[in-house]
């Protein structure tokens, strides 16, 4: 893992007012995250400000920022732009109300100190510049004073059309502060113009002098992301998606920048929070294993050392993001054939992500039938290795990466080649090892969906075997069945007396409850009816009349203990080794 030395960045505490009055100009990268604070966060900020003001607090911690200082007083803002924007909006509201009261001098001081400095040549230099989507609206409707080129919200919409969601949030923030200040006057019984002006200037001064930020200074955007991860702030402002988008934007020629940003936004929308996993898995399938912390550095080095065309790179990422998104969304329209869609559903029930690099490249390189074989193999292997045997997944990461790269290069051409590679790992889950872990496997309450999946697959295999012999099919709707614990999770007194009689203590009983052999499927009505009753009653009232083949061994039971559970697990294993087989 990559660690930063303490000498690579520094931090200082600074008053919010001092930050803006130093002569620096703060700029959010063009494609970084939009303004996104909603009413709850804005109200929280206001309430904190008023409480701090009333308590006459000397110091209020307003959060941390991540800045990169550049020549000519320019400061790149990687984290903290939401708070800086909200403070600017509040000062703009105070400025506008002061203009309404004809307090032009104080209003201009606020404008020049915190919002926008006017040079001797009458040029406006804005203290804070937001990203491309917010920049123009923020300048024209918030930062510009009423006496200048300021546009009302209605005027701006007439010219530019309906506001985007993010700019509407800026507008809502402005209107919230304006209305809340008037309510504050009423609560405090502030009635005269002078009292109102004094209150506004006092609040403005408190925000300037007593709200502090911690400034973390970094040397570049990569370090900014690494520092952000280390700080691990409550509200994310900088993401790996922002980092890559800003980099691709800078590295692409001006004529193609909009196309690159549009494609990247499509990728981000498709994958949402999964984007960081996608980028990591893409690298695994092209270059090798990488940690998330090193990912940006590695890609940046590759782009610059090999002079890779970023437009073509983003185009390839978009193509593979569509496949990746479909693999984690079984209902995606990408899947037309029912058998493949069902395998995708199974893969997602297992909640394993490591095979995704192999699956993405296989979908891209192989025909549909070959891809289906790979998908089936990865479901079966993951079920054995990850779910039942619970072997350490990190062992597979390097092997999966090697396989994905080999598929991309054309060195591996089918599922048979893949299983030959997997057989080389130390803990290969063959039938013998699979059996050792399957018999005795426990599935806790959080695994209910997985348990239903296992029992459904075993039931279908048992029925398939019977149907082949008798040509008799009984259709079932598995949605009508719920998970039943034969030995209940909350055993009644009859159960407790039974285990006391045969000498099984509470600790062993607890383990037995969640073993695969103690689980079954039962229609919900019967399940509710038998509840926590002893096994003989459950058998008569429900199991004996169940249509499911997995319940046949539960007919006419008089007792239920570890011996019965293990016998049932061994019976289940006869189906399991065929269902999740690795013999292609």
The DSSP code for 288 is -
Beta bridge mates, 211: 60
Please tell me the chain's helix, strand, coil percentages from 3-state DSSP, rounded to the nearest 5.
65, 10, 25
**What mean pLDDT comes out for the span 559-582?**
97
pLDDT for residue 245 is more than 60: yes
Query: For residue 581, is pLDDT > 80?
Result: yes
């700080």: which residue's tokens?
A: 231
* CA separation for the pair 438, 571 (Å, rounded): 11
Structure confidence at residue 143 (pLDDT): 95
Is it the case that residue 236 has pLDDT exceeding 50? no
Residues 421 and 402 sit within 8 Å (Cβ to Cβ): yes
Predicted local confidence at residue 468, as pLDDT: 62
Q: How many residues does the chain have?
A: 584
SS3 string, 274-305, reads HHHHHHHHHHHHHCCCCCHHHHHHHHHHHHHH
* pLDDT score, position 507: 92
Q: What pLDDT is stored for residue 2 in this prediction?
A: 29
* Spatial contact of 569 and 516, defined as CB atoms under 8 Å apart: yes
Distance CA 222, CA 581 (A): 45
Residue 3 has pLDDT above 90, yes or no: no
Compute the chain's Rg from CA coordinates.
Answer: 32
Give pLDDT, residue 230.
59
Detail the DSSP E strand segments found in 446-542. 481-485, 519-523
How many beta carbons lie within 10 A of that of residue 485, not counting itself?
A: 19
pLDDT at 443: 94
Across the chain, mean pLDDT equals 90
**Position 86 pLDDT exceeds 90:** yes
- Give 33: exposed, middle or buried? Use CB within 10 Å, 0-12, 13-18, 19+: buried
Pairing of strands 60-69, 211-217: parallel
Q: 298 with 401: CB under 8 angstroms?
A: no
Helix (H) or strand (E) holding 429: none
Query: Does pTM surpass 0.95?
Result: no
Which pLDDT value is given to residue 471? Answer: 52
The mean pLDDT of 401-412, rounded to a whole number, is 98
- Residue 456: φ, ψ to 5°: -65, -45
Identify any residues that bridge with 97 across adjacent strands, giving them in sequence order. Answer: none
| Tens digit of each residue's pLDDT (9 = 90 or more) over 87-99 | 999 999 999 999 9
Separation of CA 344 from chain center:
20
pLDDT band of residue 247 (cuts 50, 70, 90) is confident
* In the chain, where the domains are located: 6-231, 247-436, 445-579
């Amino acid at each position: 893992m990559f660690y930063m030395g303490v000498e690579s960045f520094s931090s200082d505490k600074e008053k919010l007012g001092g930050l803006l009055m130093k002569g620096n100009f703060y700029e959010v990268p063009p494609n970084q995250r939009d303004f996104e604070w909603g009413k709850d966060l804005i109200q929280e900020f206001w309430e904190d400000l008023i409480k701090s003001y009333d308590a006459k607090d000397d110091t209020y911690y307003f959060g941390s920022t991540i800045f990169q200082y550049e020549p000519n007083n320019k400061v790149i803002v990687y984290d903290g732009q939401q708070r800086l924007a909200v403070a600017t909006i509040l000062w703009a509201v105070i400025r506008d109300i002061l203009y309404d009261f004809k307090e032009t001098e104080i209003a201009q001081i606020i404008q020049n100190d915190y919002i926008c400095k006017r040079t001797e040549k009458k040029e406006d230099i804005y203290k804070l510049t937001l990203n491309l989507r917010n920049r123009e609206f923020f300048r024209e409707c918030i930062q510009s004073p009423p006496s200048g080129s300021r546009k009302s919200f209605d005027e701006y919409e007439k010219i530019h059309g309906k506001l985007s969601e993010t700019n509407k949030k800026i507008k809502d923030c402005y209107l919230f502060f304006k209305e809340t200040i008037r309510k504050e006057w009423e609560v405090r019984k502030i009635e005269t113009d002078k009292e109102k002006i004094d209150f506004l200037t006092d609040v403005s001064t408190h925000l300037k002098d007593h709200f502090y930020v911690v400034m973390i200074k970094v040397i570049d955007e990569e370090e900014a992301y690494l520092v952000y991860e280390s700080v691990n702030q409550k509200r994310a402002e900088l993401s790996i998606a922002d980092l890559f988008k800003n980099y691709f934007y800078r590295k692409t020629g001006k004529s193609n920048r909009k196309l690159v940003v549009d494609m990247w936004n499509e990728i981000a929308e498709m994958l949402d929070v999964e984007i960081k996993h996608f980028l990591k898995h893409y690298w695994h399938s092209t270059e090798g294993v990488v940690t998330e912390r090193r990912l940006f550095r590695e890609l940046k080095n590759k782009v610059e050392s090999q002079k890779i065309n970023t437009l073509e790179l983003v185009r390839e990422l978009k193509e593979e993001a569509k496949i990746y998104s479909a693999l984690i969304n079984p209902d995606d329209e990408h899947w037309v054939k029912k058998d493949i869609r069902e395998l995708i559903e199974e893969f997602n029930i297992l909640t394993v992500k490591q095979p995704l690099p192999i699956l993405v490249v296989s979908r891209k390189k192989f025909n549909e039938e070959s891809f289906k074989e790979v998908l089936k193999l990865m479901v079966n292997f993951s079920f054995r290795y990850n779910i039942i045997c619970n072997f350490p997944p990190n062992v597979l990461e390097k092997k999966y990466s090697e396989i994905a790269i080999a598929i991309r290069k054309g060195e591996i051409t089918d599922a048979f080649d893949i299983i030959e590679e997997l057989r080389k790992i130390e803990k290969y889950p063959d039938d013998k090892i699979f059996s050792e872990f399957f018999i005795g496997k426990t599935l806790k309450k959080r695994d209910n969906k997985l348990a239903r999946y296992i029992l459904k697959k075993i039931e279908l295999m048992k029925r398939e075997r019977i149907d082949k012999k008798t040509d008799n099919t009984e259709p079932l709707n598995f949605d009508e069945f719920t998970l039943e614990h034969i030995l209940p999770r909350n055993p009644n007194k009859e159960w407790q007396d039974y285990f006391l009689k045969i000498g099984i203590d509470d600790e062993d009983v607890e383990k037995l409850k969640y073993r695969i052999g103690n689980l079954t499927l039962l229609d919900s009505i019967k399940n509710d009816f038998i509840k926590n009753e002893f096994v003989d009653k459950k058998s008569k009232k429900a199991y004996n009349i169940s249509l499911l083949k997995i319940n046949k061994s539960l007919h006419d039971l008089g007792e239920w203990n570890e011996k019965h559970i293990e016998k049932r697990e061994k019976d289940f294993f006869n189906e399991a080794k065929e269902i999740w087989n690795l013999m292609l």
